[in-house]
Amino acid sequence: MATKKKSAVEATTEANENAIALHETEGLSQGQIIRRRFFRHKPAVISLIALVFITLFVYSASGIHLGTAKHPITIPGWWPHSMTEIQDSVFCKGSIGCPGIAHPFGQDPIGHDYFALVMRGAEQSIMVMLVVGFIGGLLGTVIGAVSGYFRGWVDAVLMRFTDFIITIPSIIIGAVIGFKFGNLGVVALAVYLGFFSWTGLARLVRGEFLTLREREFVDAARVAGASNVRIIFKHILPNAMGVIIVSVTLMLAGAILLETALSYIGFGVQSPDVSLGTLISNYQDSFTISPWLFYWPGVLIISIALCVNFIGDGLRDAFDPRQRRRISRKDLLRATFAKRK
C-alpha cells in the first residue's frame, strides 16, 4: 500500500515537473531554450564571465604579439614593463625579486618583471587553446559528418585513419611537432597541434550522424531533392551541435594542458619567448625560495582549464533535452494548485 502511494506521489511530481518545463519553454525557439538552460547553470555562467575577464585582462595588459621573430606583429598593452626589460632586483626577507608595488608579481632572478612574463605566457597559452580548438573542431566535425553520413567504404577509410592517429600518444606527436616547429612561433605550433586533435570529436560526430541520418526529416529532405551537402550541413549538423560544442570545449581544456606539458619538457614554445609551461619549468627549483615564480603560472593554468570545463558542463546540460532541472517546492505547489483550478 505504501509502495503504491509512493509511486502515485512520484508520478504526480514528475507530471508537475513536466508541466512546469513545458510552460516555461512555450513559445520559445530552440536557441532561446538552450540559452535559458545554460544561464541556469550558475558554475558555467560564473566560469564564462571569469574566462572572458581573464582573456581581456591578459591581452589588454601584454598586448597582442603575432608573427615570427623576424617578422613580428605587435600591438602594445597597458602594462609599462616588457618581458625583455631588466631592472634592479628588490631584496626582501632573504629572497630576490619579491612582489611589491612596482612589480606586483615580483621579479625573476635576472630582474625581469614577472607580471609581464606571466601575461605573455598566458597570452601564448590562450592563443594555442583557441587555434587548436578551431582547427580540431572543424576537422573533427567534417570528417565525422562525412564518415557517418556516407558510411560504406568512406566510413571504413576515414575511421581506420582516425584509429591510426588515436594509437599515437598525443604527447609524442606534440613533442615532435614542438621540436620541429616550436621556433616558428606559437601560432604555427598551435596549427600543427590542431591537425592531430580532432580524433575524439570525429568519432562522436560520426555516431550522431549514424543515428540522425535515419530520421524522418532526413528522408523528407531526400524526397524533396536536397543534395547530400545540404542534408549534412543544413538538416543533420544543427541537430548534432550539442555534442560538437561540448566536445570542443573539452578539447580547449586539453589543448592548454598539452601546450603546458610540452613547454614544461622543453618541446613547446621556445626561448626567448615564454608560455605558462616554460615559466613553471624554468623556476620549479625556486619554489622554496621564491614561491611566487611558481604560483602565478600554476594558478592561471588551473583557472583557465577549470573555467573551460565548467562551461562545457553547462553547455552539455543546455543542449541535452533529457536533462531535467530541479524544481523547487514552491513551483510544484503552484503547478499543482493551477492544475486543480
- CATH assignment of the domain containing 305: 1.10.3720.10
- Name the percent of the chain lying above pLDDT 70: 80
- When divided into structural domains, the chain yields a total of 1
Residue 45 within a domain: no
Mean pLDDT value of segment 95-111: 79
Summary count for the chain: helices (H), strands (E): 14, 4
Do the domain assignments include residue 31?
no
CA distance 117 to 121: 6
Average pLDDT on 2-12 reads 52
pLDDT digits 0-9 by tens, 290-313: 788 888 888 999 999 899 989 988
Q: What is the pLDDT of residue 67?
A: 62
pLDDT confidence bin for 147, thresholds 50/70/90:
very high
Quote the CA–CA distance of 278 and 242 in Å, as a whole number.
Answer: 35
- Predicted confidence (pLDDT) at residue 101 exceeds the cutoff of 50: yes
Q: Is residue 209 part of a domain?
A: yes
pLDDT at 328 over 50: no
The predicted pLDDT at position 20 comes to 46
Q: Is residue 339 situated within a structural domain? A: no
Closest CA to 308 of 244, 242, 256: 256
CA distance 22 to 291: 54
Render 185-209 in DSSP notation, one character per residue. -HHHHHHHHHTTS-HHHHHHHHHHH
DSSP codes, 275-313 = -HHHHHHHTGGGTTT-THHHHHHHHHHHHHHHHHHHHHH
What would the mean pLDDT of 241-262 be, rounded to a whole number?
84
pLDDT in tens, 39-48: 888 999 999 9
Q: Rounded to the nearest 5°, which phi and psi values hold at 31?
A: -65, -40
Give the domain extent around 290.
56-86+99-323
6 pLDDT band (50/70/90 cuts)? Answer: very low
Average pLDDT, the chain: 79
Q: Is the pLDDT of residue 22 over 60?
A: no
CA neighbor of 231 nearest in space, from 239, 337, 39 = 239
- Among candidates 326, 319, 314, 317, which has minimal Cα distance to 17? 326
73 assigned to some structural domain: yes
The answer as to whether 10 is a domain residue is: no
Asked if residue 210 is part of any domain, the answer here is: yes
- What pLDDT is attached to residue 8? 53
pLDDT at site 284: 77
Question: Is position 336 within any domain?
Answer: no
